[in-house]
Amino acid sequence: MATRAFHFFRAGGFDQVRFDTGADLLAIDQLDQKLWVALACPTKGLAFDSRTLELIDADKDGRIRAPELIAAVKWAGGLIKNPDDLLKSAPELPLSAINETSDEGKKIVTAAKTVLGGLGKSSASAISVGDTAEATKAFDNLPFNGDGVVPPESAKDDATKKLLADIVATHGAVKDRSGKDGVNADKVNAFFKDVADHVAWLNKADSVAGLLVLKGDTGAAFDALKAVRAKVDDYFARCRLAAFDARAIAALNREEKEYLAVAAKDLTITADEVANFPLAHIEANKPLPLFETVNPAWAAALSSFATKTVKPALGEKKTLTEGEWLELRGKFEAYEGWQKDKAGAAVEKLGVDRLKALAADGARKGVDALFDEEKTQEGTAATLASVEKLVRLHRDLFRLANNFVSFKDFYERKEKAIFQVGTLFLDQRACELCIRVEDAGKHGTMAPLSRAYLAYVDCTRPASGEKMTVAAAFTAGDSDNLMVGRNGIFYDRDGKDWDATITKIVDNPISIRQAFWSPYKKLIRFIEEQVAKRAAAADSDSADKLTGKAVAVGTAAETGTFKPPEKKFDIGVVAALGVAVGGITAAMGALLQAFFGLGFYMPLGVVGLLFLISGPSMLIAWLKLRQRNIGPLLDANGWAVNANARLNVPFGGSLTHTAALPSGSRLDTVDPFAEEKKPWGTYAVLIGVLLIAALWYFGKLDKALPPAVRSITVLGNAAPAAPQPDAKQDAPKIEAPKADPAPAK
């Protein structure tokens, strides 16, 4: 099969298909799925018509996959005369645009005209989504709407209404298209099967001799016996053990300490501790008392058993022997086995007479007639559904393809993508990349892989009680004032405003500019924190000392031993201060010497120093910004993104708008409440100049300066660094007279 030559465009660092014509869209099945941007998307949490997504989702699993989108394109394309009409995304579908060459097309045109006629628009030449929605709502509210569900209100006689209500009461309801509770054919069949099975089970009791020992009272008698059976068996077992060995009687009746533990509490007749004790006092071969001297927790159950079971079956008795107990149990064995074989228990609560009446022939005739009438509307319902589907796909299919097969809407920035649910305004920024999140915990495990700076925001509308969570990407500005708890306003795609509060932050670089200043901001924050800690510690220490001194003075005054503190002059402190000042001066001199030693390359030295500090932070930011992509954000929300959809710095910056004054605005720069400025900068410059002058004066900078401006050259011998003449060296030297040479011999 020949493959169509598609038109592609590059965005986000990868190639994406462009549907220029309707023929391109209809050939979607020929596009290699490795080139699709997404292979699946959820039907919820998107800024897209949910009904359209529901109609495309053929298997109703809440996800649209590539084969389902292809099937929708093929179906719609086969019913439209000119496939280019699909690219217009028009809200109305002209009836003349529907292809009537097929039987389905003819039915859709006929149904569309019927819908328009029912809405009083017989002369209309086009049908809209609103028309189909209104017609569908009216059709769904009809007694018979072809969905296979019949509500009790659809019945015309009371007997059938009562029967449908019984089915709902015993087997549950199915929602009709109108939203009413009703039943379908499966519910009806299950109901009448249970009725037949239960009636057959009931009839077995009449045909088996000795099954109903007490006739109509057998059930109540058996229930009373069943309630005490385990405890009565336990009682007679204990009596047999007591007959075997009298030494066991004390243990069988429970020890005294167990009664003491129970007596220490507030007693109730049904207390668990008492209920676990034997029915009566244990003795060898002792009959079971039914009324007197019995465990108070079981007195009511034993009385009921004696009245409903023992008396009708064995006669009036105040005690019951083990033999009589075994005889009594034997009388109900057949009944118990019959109860275990009970069938159709779901309908038992309707009563025997009602069930036998329903089991008669013709009882379901009225219900079957309703389903026959319901079935006649199935064709109308299917055709109406086809009209709605075609009108919606005619409007929405092209837009869905541009947000599924490609991310054209997202990267062209002309329209928002379907996964952008609104705009968050917070910290003088408007963030357009906001994705709805159903489970923030689950989403947060994968979203950090996007390498984007994310803020999870809880959005609420108190007036309506609506709530949702969005993940907003900050792609411009800085993160200095972003923190958990900050509030903003979120506007959804319909323009509704929501209160927004940050609940979680995923920290990643926002820009290289932010990364450049990050080390200095961290240093300033560190200094501020350390100063605050030291100030707090000093304040606490000072307060402690003051308190201690005050207490000491008060104590001394009381005892009369007060002495004023002696003033001390610590020479060591002065020496330490001198050493510190000297070290600082030496370090400053070395730094300035190295700096001035660069000569004309001093500006490059400044740049190098800045990059030495900011370089690592900028490198990390650059690496992460290169990896920033939207794929993990969508995958964590149920998408199947098939490409590395990058968010580079320029494109990311367009997704977050920072505050700026409008063009042509006038700004009054005088702030009447501005804080009074102190000339700290001037002071700092003067101190710096004086420090440099002092270093120059003392010759500390001579090695780094040209000869003409060195202090030794300018000041000459007046410079402190100039060599001073030594008094011993400057004194005139007196040489000893030389001896005359010896006369020659």
Percentage of the chain exceeding pLDDT 70: 82
Q: Is the pLDDT of residue 581 over 60?
A: no
The more confident residue out of 254 and 305 is 305
Q: Is the pLDDT of residue 723 over 70?
A: no
- What is the distance between the alpha carbons of residues 233 and 243, in angstroms, rounded to a whole number? 16
Q: Is the pLDDT of residue 80 over 60?
A: yes
Q: What is the pLDDT of residues 85-119, one digit of tens each?
A: 999 999 999 999 999 999 999 999 999 998 999 89
The more confident residue out of 511 and 148 is 148
For 409, residues 6+ apart whose C-beta sits below 8 A from its C-beta are 399, 402, 403, 415, 416, 417, 418
Percentage of the chain exceeding pLDDT 90: 53
The more confident residue out of 209 and 464 is 464
pLDDT of residue 380: 87
Count Cβ atoms within 10 A of the Cβ of residue 509 and give its class: 0-12 exposed, 13-18 middle, 19 or more buried: buried
- What is the distance between the alpha carbons of residues 343 and 197, in angstroms, rounded to a whole number? 6
Average pLDDT (319-342) is 92
| Chain centre distance of CA 351 | 50
pLDDT of residue 596: 53
Buried b (16+ CB within 10 A) or exposed e, 546-559: eeeeeeeeeeeeee
Q: What is the pLDDT of residues 200-225, one digit of tens each?
A: 998 888 788 778 888 889 999 999 99
Strand ranges in 92-220 using DSSP code E only, listed in sequence order? 92-94, 126-128, 174-175, 181-182
- Copy the structure tokens of residue 641: 């993104």
- Map tokens 């068996």 to a residue: 233
- Map tokens 């007036």 to a residue: 463
Q: Is the pLDDT of residue 574 over 60?
A: no
The more confident residue out of 69 and 737 is 69
- What is the distance between the alpha carbons of residues 96 and 288, in angstroms, rounded to a whole number? 93
pLDDT of residue 275: 83
pLDDT of residue 724: 59
pLDDT of residue 597: 55
C-beta of residue 9 within 8 angstroms of C-beta of residue 16: yes
Give the SS3 label for residue 267: coil
Name the residue ranges covered by the structural domains of the chain: 7-142+378-411, 215-331, 419-552+583-658+686-714
pLDDT of residue 195: 94
- Copy the structure tokens of residue 726: 């030594």
Average pLDDT (285-289) is 94
Single pTM value for the model? 0.67
pLDDT of residue 53: 96
For 7, residues 6+ apart whose C-beta sits below 8 A from its C-beta are 17, 18, 20, 24
pLDDT of residue 546: 75
Q: What is the pLDDT of residues 653-667, one digit of tens each?
A: 889 999 888 888 888
Least confident of 242-256, 285-299, 362-376, 495-509: 242-256
pLDDT of residue 603: 62
pLDDT of residue 582: 59
Q: Is the pLDDT of residue 729 over 60?
A: no
How many angstroms separate the first and last alpha carbons of the chain? 138
pLDDT of residue 207: 80
Count Cβ atoms within 10 A of the Cβ of residue 227 and give its class: 0-12 exposed, 13-18 middle, 19 or more buried: middle
pLDDT of residue 276: 84
- What is the distance between the alpha carbons of residues 250 and 545, in angstroms, rounded to a whole number? 75
Q: Is the pLDDT of residue 483 over 80?
A: yes
Average pLDDT (180-188) is 94
Q: Tell which residue, 438, 496, 505, 449, has the closest CA to residue 474.
A: 505
Amino acid (1-letter code) at residue 664: G
pLDDT of residue 745: 42
Q: What is the pLDDT of residues 429-462, one digit of tens each?
A: 999 999 999 888 888 888 889 989 999 999 999 9
DSSP code for 307:
I
Q: What is the pLDDT of residues 244-276, one digit of tens each?
A: 999 888 888 877 667 666 665 655 555 566 788
